[in-house]
């Protein structure tokens, strides 16, 4: 997969893209990520990328031509019709795990980062396929959202998390929160690891994990259980959780 980020501040991305799993994924050619600066697509002497808003008002608006040319350039470079041009915008579709999976299915993603008071709306109308929001708050630019989307999308690509593909085991992959994890030592400060995890009984461990996944969801994010069709086994486990939570 190829991810093109259109941003006036390419240096902001060197940290997140240059470390850990995203770095390894790029080194292994599982993803190709490139940041393109619209300022490199200005032809005037001062490389102007923003201007005053028509109709008046405070702040500056990003001019359409540099963004248009930057997108055109990366679209031509990828030469794939299987692409999505996505605008980072608080008014967009909510970004969640389902959206990450959807975006991971494209050969090319073009993430457009606005800055200042926003971008000329003709870009949104004519160039952008969809706007996406990472949450109901306003940031100073689309750069942090683009990093978040790159991260969440990249880890859906087979091989990015390693050989034993972890994304399938995620909380949210099956719609519930993750069960608790433990590692050595077995006892720390007098705090013990749950006995069942040391039992070696894999069926018992699987049932415990499923139940604790349901418990975490019921306690912390009950909204995720609304309108969900549970298997008979999950219904039984959730009933146990509910009586235990009521009692303790």
Which positions touch ligand 4GY (CB under 6 A)? 88-90, 114-115, 117-118, 133-135, 137-139, 141-142, 145
Which residue of the set 65, 102, 170, 234 is catalytic?
Answer: 170
Cβ 113 to ligand 4GY, closest distance in Å? 8
Cβ 169 to ligand 4GY, closest distance in Å? 27
Q: Which residues contact 110 (CB under 8 A, 6 or more apart)?
A: 4, 5, 6, 71, 74, 75, 83, 84, 85, 86
Cβ 146 to ligand 4GY, closest distance in Å? 8
Cβ 142 to ligand 4GY, closest distance in Å? 5
Q: How far apart are CA 70 and CA 74, in angstroms?
A: 7
* Contact of 94 with 136, CB cutoff 8 Å: no
3-state SS string for 162-230: CCCCHHHHCCCCCCCCCCCCCCCCCEECCEECCHHHHCCCHHHHHHHHHHHHHHHHHHHCHHHHCCCCC
3-state SS string for 96-126: CHHHHHHHCCCCEEEEECCECCCECHHHHHH
Comparing CB distances to ligand 4GY, the nearer of 78 and 113 is 113
Longest Cα–Cα distance of the chain, Å, equals: 72
Cβ 30 to ligand 4GY, closest distance in Å? 25
Does the active-site annotation cover 221? no
Comparing CB distances to ligand 4GY, the nearer of 138 and 163 is 138
Comparing CB distances to ligand 4GY, the nearer of 116 and 218 is 116
Does the active-site annotation cover 64? no
Comparing CB distances to ligand 4GY, the nearer of 25 and 89 is 89
Taken in order 150, 153, 159, 165, the sign of the CA dihedral is positive
Does the active-site annotation cover 39? no
Which residue of the set 155, 210, 212, 215 is catalytic?
Answer: 155
Does the active-site annotation cover 2? no
Which residue of the set 10, 53, 90, 180 is catalytic?
Answer: 90
Which residue of the set 72, 117, 201, 240 is catalytic?
Answer: 117
First to last CA, the chain: 48
Cβ 154 to ligand 4GY, closest distance in Å? 18
Comparing CB distances to ligand 4GY, the nearer of 120 and 212 is 120
Q: How far apart are CA 35 and CA 74, in angstroms?
A: 10
What angle do helix axes 20-27 and 143-154 make, rounded to 10 degrees? 60
Comparing CB distances to ligand 4GY, the nearer of 93 and 126 is 93
- Residues annotated as catalytic are 90, 117, 155, 170
């Amino acid at each position: 997969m190829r991810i093109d980020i259109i941003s006036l501040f390419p240096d902001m991305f060197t940290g997140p893209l240059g470390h850990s799993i995203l770095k390894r994924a790029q080194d292994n050619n599982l993803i190709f990520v490139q940041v393109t600066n619209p300022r490199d697509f200005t032809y005037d002497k001062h490389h102007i990328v923003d201007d005053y808003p028509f109709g008046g008002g405070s702040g500056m608006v990003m001019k359409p031509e540099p963004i248009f040319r930057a997108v055109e350039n990366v679209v031509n470079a990828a030469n794939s019709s299987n692409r999505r041009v996505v605008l980072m915008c608080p008014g967009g579709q909510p970004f969640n795990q389902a959206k990450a999976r959807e975006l991971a299915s494209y050969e090319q993603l073009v993430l457009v980062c606005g800055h200042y008071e926003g971008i000329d709306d003709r870009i949104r109308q004519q160039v952008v396929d969809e706007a996406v929001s990472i949450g109901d708050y306003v940031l100073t630019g689309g750069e942090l959202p683009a990093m978040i989307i790159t991260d969440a999308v990249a880890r859906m690509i087979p091989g990015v998390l390693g050989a034993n593909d972890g994304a399938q085991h995620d909380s949210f992959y099956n719609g519930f929160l993750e069960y608790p994890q433990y590692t050595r030592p077995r006892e720390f400060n007098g705090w013990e690891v749950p006995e069942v995890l040391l039992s070696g009984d894999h069926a018992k461990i699987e049932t415990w994990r499923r139940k604790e996944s349901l418990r975490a969801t019921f306690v912390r994010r009950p909204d995720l259980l609304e309108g969900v069709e549970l298997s008979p086994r999950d219904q039984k486990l959730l009933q146990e959780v509910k009586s235990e939570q009521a009692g303790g």
